[in-house]
Amino acid sequence: MERKENPDAMFGETWLFFGCRHRDRDYLFREELEGFVSSGALSHLKHNLLRNRKHVTDILLKQKGFLYVCGDAKNMAKDVNDALLEAIRAELQVDQLDAMKTVALLREEKRYLQDIWG
């Protein structure tokens, strides 16, 4: 990873949100993911974007962060988009249309990118 190859470089926080319906069966690569947190490659490993909406919107909107979404288009990507809209709406105290405009701007600036399928 970039942090390992460039230990003196300055990096912002790196959050990974992931979903698993059954922690005992679906938590794929658990040891590796938790190892990334232990080593500092990841700042945070989380399950719920909305529970962390204040931090997410701060990073995206004030710190000019990036959001990458990878997964299925039918369910996961739609749910992430809906959660992002809700987070922006709630944190900025704007209506749905303004939240949608903010998300559109993030897409236009290539700071909200999706690698989705299905």
Condensed to tens digits (0 to 9), the pLDDT of residues 3-62 reads 667 777 777 899 999 877 777 778 888 899 999 999 998 999 999 999 999 999 999 999
Is the distance from CB of 115 to CB of 70 less than 8 angstroms?
A: yes
Same domain? For 105 and 80 the reply is yes
Instruction: Write down the pTM of the prediction.
Output: 0.86
Which one of 30, 47, 64 terminates a domain? 47
Condensed to tens digits (0 to 9), the pLDDT of residues 48-92 reads 999 999 999 999 999 999 999 999 999 999 999 999 999 999 999
User: How many domains is the chain partitioned into structurally?
Assistant: 2
Q: Which domain holds residue 10?
A: 1-47
Is the distance from CB of 60 to CB of 111 less than 8 angstroms?
A: yes
pLDDT at 104 over 90: yes
